[in-house]
Chain A
Amino acid sequence: MNAFVEPATMPGSGVAKGEVLLSVANVSLAFGGVKAITNISFDIRKGEIRAIIGPNGAGKTSMLNVINGFYHPQEGTITWRGKARRKMKPYEAASHGIARTFQNVALFKGMTTLDNIMTGRGLSMKKNFLWQCLHWGPALKEEIDHRHRVEEIIDFLEIQAIRKTPVGRLPYGLQKRVELARALAMEPELLLLDEPMAGMNLEEKEDMSRFILDVNQQFGTTIALIEHDMGVVMDLSDRVVVLDYGRKIADGMPEDVQKNQDVIDAYLGVPHEE
């Protein structure tokens, strides 16, 4: 089922594979006197898996929040698909193809799995209010068309059995998977994953890693992920950027970053000698 399929059309065409999809230039973000991010620049290329790592409080999540418009940086520019911008509302970022998941699961707890994922399709549903009142004819057809797309994602992530379960009742690992499904339902060009494997056991981590790779390969989605499990980061990612105290201390291939002395000092550390 998960056979490798070369994506015929990359979502959000316009940027070819391997070119810069998003670049962040000299971005600084401060909350009052607290500098969360200081003068950071890096880029994300189309089709890659980009990891952002660093110790707690390094500004990783703030960086994601800047990218999808939740925080507005005081300085610097963000170039998305070749267009520079400084400010953007979150729903604009969403409609331009940036989706994300959250560190602490942010699902809609009172709704079923199906409804949660359907909510992710909201942006591409166009029928107006009066059609919604009727729920018939074109509105029903639209609803069912989108249901088909959602069912594809449900199949892809193997969550068929919990379709009608309110997500509040699901175990943590599955909630994380539903959250990924909801982000995928938006058919994003760039997917931001904030610690997708936090608090998971080994088996769940393996599943999630496989899903991330499959999403990247089958849908051609560009992925930026924050993760603390170094094994996962080194295996999954194409390039890694390392932050510490709001500054960038390294950027490059996983193996290079692993050997970088600054990164070892700030974050990775060394194995204890026996």
Chain B
Amino acid sequence: MLYREAGQFKTTYDADQAIFPIAQDRWAVIAFAAIAFLVVPFFVNDYWTNAVLLPLLIYGLAALGLNILVGYCGQISLGTGGFMAVGAFASYKLMTSFPELNIAIVVLLSGGATALVGVMFGLPSLRIKGFYLAVATLAAQFFLVWLFNKFGWFYNYSATGQISVPERTIFGLVVTGPTAAPWVKYLFCLSFLALFGLIAKNVVRGRIGRNWMAIRDMDIAAELIGVRPLQTKLSAFAFSSFYVGMAGSLLFTVYLGAVEVTEVFGINVSFLVLFMVIIGGLGSILGSFLGATFLVLMPIFLKNFMVDGLGLLPVLAKHVEILLMGLLIMGFLIVEPHGLARMWQILKEKFRLWPFPY
């Protein structure tokens, strides 16, 4: 009853094309953002930031990037882990070579470097499609991890092969390194996610986004109405890799602080992010966030429930958790193959008609 658009008349195309054309949605999102920016920072502690919020925000950004490539442009990529590694190592090299550089700029430049690498590995997409492209991007995953492991220049010849982050500040507040306050880290990542979430939404509802979707849905027809396949696909690879690179950069600089490439950016990260996109909903910005939320929070919830609630041994709980996650993913995909975003949409449509659905 509360969620109705009756009485909200749109008199301009501008209003009709708004991101949230229904007023209730608009207010809900503004309220949500206000709480996230203004209330949560006062309550976060070390546990919440490190266990829940930072992974959520960073994987949300990575899933958003991958969703642009897979969900909007229809090009499957299994190289996400490798591209995140590019972001992380680009940040490391930038931070150690140019100590004066602002951390926000480092993150952006790392995204840019990843975009270049992404375009390079996107070149085969003009000729190969679907699963074959997935295999080609898989090569990127293994090649990049090998590259960063093999050549000492990337980790400044440190004895362990690890890269660890120097301390950096923004507006006088420490963001990276062990002394950074949880709320600063949280706000830093949240700002990136909010800003680039908005930009992604803007791009996908404009000309470029429509060209991506045209290539996804019917590439021949798209070509015949004037979409250039190579440019369009490569722009999707670049844009997507930019996001994934920023996520990798944030993961290294803000969240983990020290990284060993084979452990952190392996193939399982590629699959994790791909699962987020599929479960959340292909071709949906909201879906990327929902998928990341589901795959980050559910294991924590299950672990807490089993260890603290049922008193299981942590090791046993871990195994059961993996099992349950698999079952849950299968269950979700059987109930709604189009992901959580579609579920949410259907729920909203039902709610609009409630309590008189006929």
Contacts and interface: CB of A to CB of B under 8 A. Distances in A.
Interface of A: 68, 70, 90-91, 93-95, 99-100, 102, 106-111, 115, 118-120, 122-123, 125, 127, 129, 132-135, 139-140, 143-144, 147-148, 151, 182-183, 186
Interface in B194-249: 199, 202-203, 205-208, 210-211, 213-214, 216-218, 220-228, 235
Given A70-B223, A111-B217, 16 more contacts: A91-B227, A91-B228, A95-B226, A106-B221, A108-B216, A111-B214, A129-B208, A132-B202, A132-B203, A133-B203, A135-B203, A135-B206, A143-B17, A144-B12, A183-B225, A186-B226
Nearest to A127: B207
27 contacts: A90-B224, A91-B226, A91-B228, A93-B224, A94-B225, A106-B218, A106-B221, A107-B218, A108-B216, A108-B218, A110-B216, A110-B283, A115-B213, A119-B210, A119-B222, A122-B207, A122-B210, A122-B225, A122-B226, A123-B225, A127-B207, A129-B235, A132-B202, A132-B208, A144-B12, A144-B13, A186-B226
B225 A147 contact: no
Classify the interface of chain A: helix, strand, loop or mixed: helix
A146 to B, nearest CB: 9
B14 interface: yes
B213 A108 contact: yes
Contact of B225 (A119, A135, A139, A151): A119
A119 B211 contact: yes
Contacts of B210: 111, 115, 118-119, 122
B225 A143 contact: no
Contacts of B211: 119, 122
A120 B222 CA distance: 9
B221 A102 contact: yes
Contacts of B203: 129, 132-133, 135
Contact of A70 (B205, B218, B224, B283): B224
Given A110-B283, A115-B210, A135 B226 contact: no
Contact of A91 (B202, B217, B223): B223
B127 to A, nearest CB: 16
